[in-house]
Amino acid sequence: MRIAFLGTPEFALPSLEMLTEEGHELAVFTQPDRPKGRHGEPVPPPVKALAAQRGLPVYQFEKIRAPEGVAALRGFAPDLMVTAAFGQILSEENLKIPAYGCINVHGSLLPKYRGAAPVQWAVIGGETVTGVTTMLTDAGLDTGDMLLKRAVEIGDNETGGELMERLSHVGASLLKDTLFALQSGTLKREKQNDAEATKCPMLKKEHGKVDFSKTAREVHNLVRGVTPWPGAYAFLDGEPVKLHKTRLTGLSARGAAGECAVASAAEGLFVNAADELVEVLELQFAGGKRMEASRALCGRALFRKVLV
């Protein structure tokens, strides 16, 4: 098939790789290069880098719904559009271009977790099962008819980043099955029940702020969900401390929420949540490097200090 592929980050790479291996005629549409690093040098999105390696034509638009984006899509004249974490909302004009419409690879079991960061919010929300849904894109935000689904279990200590990487491969496999069903005429569509829908916003830095007055599991889930980005943090004596890795202990709290109940190089760092102690396994003080708690506590007196 002649397919316009719209994607941007790493999550989209396995799907693009699969379409390439299957021999589809492809053009890639992605976001513009963005400045990164200390010097602000423009860096291409991962999808552009892979497309360049595979010799695929690449188009970059700040807004694909702008006239120039619509014109480029029309010029390619795709049979089908496929989106995977593209990061932009398509217009009705975009969606009318391909004869078979637009199939989106979405990182949740719709209608739960519609929105920009479904994988991370599933972890933050304490879900034990999530998955991938292929769906027909409409003018709404992840409101189109569902096509195929595949569920996966979430590990107790799995981070949002780790789960995202796993689901990207599940998504590629599910997309392959979806295209086979489309081409064989067996693909069925199912309306979403809007009453069961949950929405998840784009993650921002403030979402990583840890509140130790919540339960230990809620704290642990937040740290997992926002790792590696935007990252979990709390404040100690007014300075930010990044919390990279935590563990549930099942041990009852021993004081006020956020208080370091155990803090030594020999024993590690255990912080009171609302109900239980949370062990902080890896952290990073302001201006320092990420390290294991046992190393980070060498020469630091944190016992009875409070993380807020």
pLDDT means over runs of 10, the chain (308 residues): 98 98 98 89 96 98 97 98 96 97 98 97 98 95 96 98 98 98 97 96 97 98 98 97 98 97 96 98 96 93 96
Instruction: Answer with the one of 166, 183, 200 that is the final residue of a domain.
Output: 200
276 and 224 both lie in a single domain: yes
189 with 227, same domain?
A: no
Angle subtended at Cα 163 by Cα 162 and Cα 164, rounded to the nearest 5 degrees: 90
Contact status, residue 95 vs residue 139, Cβ threshold 8 Å: yes
**Single-letter amino acid, residue 280:** V
**Do residues 169 and 36 share a domain?**
yes
Final residue of a structural domain among 144, 170, 200: 200
- The range of the structural domain enclosing residue 46 comes to 2-200
Clarify whether residues 40 and 184 are in a common domain. yes
Identify whether 118 is part of a domain.
yes
Structural domain contains residue 135 = yes
Is 105 part of a structural domain of the chain?
yes
Residue 175 belongs to a domain: yes
Q: Extract the tokens encoding 135.
A: 């769906």
Place of tokens 């291409």: 44
CA–CA separation, 273 and 260 (whole Å):
10
**What CA–CA distances, in Å, run from 128 to 60, 140, 179, 225, 276?**
37, 27, 29, 13, 20
223 and 85 together in one domain: no
The Cα–Cα gap between 135 and 117 comes to 16
Residues 181 and 282 in one domain: no
Question: CA 106, CA 47: separation in Å to the nearest integer?
Answer: 16
Nearest to 87 by CA among 31, 136, 32: 31
In single-letter form, the type of residue at position 131 comes to G
Structure tokens given for 299: 């020469």
* CATH assignment of the domain containing 249: 3.10.25.10
Spatial CA neighbour of 143 closest among 87, 194, 86, 85: 194
β-strand pairing of 114-115 with 232-236: unpaired
Please name which of 169, 173, 157 lies closest in space to residue 11, comparing C-alpha atoms: 169
Domain count, the chain: 2
Three-class secondary structure of residue 91 per DSSP: coil
Edge-first strand order for the sheet with 146-153 is: 58-60, 25-30, 2-7, 80-84, 102-106, 129-136, 146-153
Dihedrals phi, psi of 189, to nearest 5 degrees:
-120, 150
Is 305 inside a domain boundary? no
Sign for the pseudo-dihedral over CA of 53, 37, 59, 86: positive
Please report whether residue 176 resides in a domain: yes
d(C-alpha 250, C-alpha 277), whole Å:
7
At 37 the pLDDT is 81
- Residue from 233, 220, 208, 206 nearest 275 by CA: 220
Cβ neighbours around 15 below 10 Å, total? 25
Residues 165 and 271 in one domain: no
Based on the fold, state whether residues 213 and 64 are members of the same structural domain: no
| 163 token code pair | 């789960």
Same domain, 119 and 213: no
Q: Which of 162, 178, 200 is the last residue of a domain?
A: 200
- Residue 168 and residue 92 in one domain: yes
State how far the Cα of 128 lies from the Cα of 194, in Å rounded to an integer: 22
> Phi/psi at 168 (nearest 5 deg)?
-60, -35
Are residues 62 and 165 both part of a single domain? yes
DSSP state of 275: S
Whether the bond between 228 and the residue before it is cis, its omega within 30 degrees of 0, is yes
Assigned token pair, 244: 């990279």
190, 279: one domain = no
Residue 246 DSSP one-character state: E
